[in-house]
Amino acid sequence: MKIVVAALVLVASCGPSYLVVRPSEPVAAETHRVHVDVTRLWLTEDVRDSGFDDGVALVVELRVRNDDMRPRQVSPGSLSCWMVLDPQRPSETRSLLAGGGGEGAFKGEPPGEGSLLLPVVIPPGQSRDVWAIFYGYRFDGSDRPRRVTLTVPLDDGELTVDLADPARGAQRWDTPPVRAALSVGVRDLSFFGGGLRGTVPGTEISFAMRRGPLLWDVGLASSVFVQTQGPLQSGTSTLTGTGLSGHLTVPFLSWGTDLNPRQLGAYVGGSTSFLIEIETTAEANANSMKMPAVGPRSYGFYTAEAGLELDIGALRFTPSPFPLRADRRSLPRWMLRVGYVQGWAGGATGGGLVSSVHFTF
């Protein structure tokens, strides 16, 4: 047992980050004149997007009140946590591996060596805060909701606290949503006014984030500029571009359900990229014969855009035994943008329309 605990502590010491989850209903139990309140729950942050696996840890903070006339003892290392799928199928019940604990509040770090052996004494009429940590592991059916119970051994029995129960549909564990994710999209720019005209299809790979109601993203943009009118010189009238893009969205209208929300907002954005002409085979061969060699022509290309953005759906947590629920609006699953764009390249400018579709995961 000591070897297992030491290995778990070593894995945890690699620096997992924990987040507080808040049960939507009070979680408490009482027996033998000992009252227990669950004050806080912690989970490793990866559980939201990775589900229940070997890297998951659950931390339970308790306030234990002794209403008896004699002192009582609670050892955080003796607490056990069980996940019950079906009471009629005890073979499907799984336990989380105990990893220790301590007195007071959880400080965001796994316990030190020997914490399993330190009991907490609770004098008569007083309360003490204790915490215990449990480590998970992946198994068949680990993505199914389960009744999660905590057992607290006492010197004259034990006390069981229901941390979660699928039968209590209103009980949830509220936690912050995923605030950052990768976004992949396609966009199309059409310039039909001014001295720079053409179409610019392209792709974007962005890092999307939400801060309060605001959405923003920054990433890499790749495009192909097919010029129909303008100063950009290319034997094929086509140039390829690579650069950076960014957008900021301010929502002003929301509707839909929690599972399938909709949001409409105004956005502004822009990009800066480097265009290189796509040469014909004859031009490429001629340039390769010149001394010194003359490469393809290149230009700076800049855009500014503004318009409307429609956000559809929301990033959801990966299924796990725990009843996790985002306490705020999450990043959207889909983003549709339509707006006006102004572009500059080769000393000319042109205006037109931009449309794009982005998928976040």
pLDDT digits (tens, 9 = 90+) for 179-215: 899 999 999 999 999 999 999 999 999 999 999 899 9
Domain match, 89 and 209 both:
no
Which of 224, 208, 200 lies closest to 356, judged by CA? 200
What is the C-alpha separation between 195 and 190, in angstroms, rounded? 13
Which of 166, 137, 177, 171 lies closest to 48, judged by CA? 177
Domain match, 100 and 129 both:
yes
| Averaged pLDDT for residues 329-352 | 96
Domain match, 245 and 319 both:
yes
| Per-residue pLDDT tens over the stretch 60-100 | 999 999 999 999 989 888 899 999 999 899 999 999 998 88
Domain match, 197 and 120 both:
no
Which of 29, 35, 132, 1 lies closest to 75, judged by CA? 132
Residue 168 in this model has a pLDDT that exceeds 70: yes
| Per-residue pLDDT tens over the stretch 223-265 | 999 999 999 998 889 999 999 999 999 999 999 988 889 999 9
* Encoded tokens for 252: 């002003």
Which of 222, 254, 253 lies closest to 240, judged by CA? 222
Domain match, 350 and 214 both:
yes
What is the C-alpha separation between 225 and 277, in angstroms, rounded? 9
CATH number at 51 reads 2.60.40
Domain match, 14 and 152 both:
yes
Domain match, 142 and 245 both:
no
CA distances to 138, 214, 334, 350, 354 from 301, rounded to whole Å, are 49, 27, 27, 11, 15
The amino acid sitting at 266 is A
Domain match, 116 and 230 both:
no
CA 1 to chain centre: 34
The pLDDT value given to residue 32 = 85
Q: The domain containing residue 20 runs over which residues?
A: 2-174
Q: Where a domain ends, among 150, 174, 198?
A: 174
CB-based burial of residue 78 (10 Å sphere; 0-12 exposed, 13-18 middle, 19+ buried)?
middle
Residue 5 in this model has a pLDDT that exceeds 50: no
Query: What 3-state DSSP class applies to 337?
Result: strand
Asked whether the beta carbons of 42 and 324 are under 8 A apart, the reply is no
The pLDDT value given to residue 258 = 81
- DSSP classification of residue 318: P
Which of 169, 181, 225 lies closest to 341, judged by CA? 225
Domain match, 240 and 92 both:
no
Neighbours of 271 (CB within 10 A): 27
The pLDDT value given to residue 248 = 98
What is the C-alpha separation between 257 and 289, in angstroms, rounded? 65
Which of 57, 76, 54, 62 lies closest to 19, judged by CA? 57
Domain match, 218 and 343 both:
yes
CB neighbour list of residue 331: distance below 8 Å, 6 or more residues apart: 177, 178, 179, 180, 181, 208, 209, 210, 215, 314, 315, 360
Percent of residues, the chain, with pLDDT higher than 90: 67
Which of 304, 285, 312 lies closest to 296, judged by CA? 285
Domain match, 122 and 24 both:
yes
H/E stretch holding 124? none
CATH number at 220 reads 2.40.160
The pLDDT value given to residue 115 = 55
Q: Where a domain ends, among 174, 199, 223?
A: 174
Q: Is the pTM of this model over 0.75?
A: yes
Q: Per the structure, how many domains does the chain have?
A: 2
What is the C-alpha separation between 171 and 152, in angstroms, rounded? 21
What number of H helices and E strands is found in the chain?
3, 21
Q: Where a domain ends, among 112, 141, 174?
A: 174
Residue 10 in this model has a pLDDT that exceeds 50: no
Asked whether the beta carbons of 307 and 339 are under 8 A apart, the reply is yes
Q: Please, which pLDDT band fits residue 112 given cuts at 50, 70 and 90?
A: low
What is the residue-averaged pLDDT of the chain? 88
* Encoded tokens for 202: 């392209």
Domain match, 163 and 222 both:
no
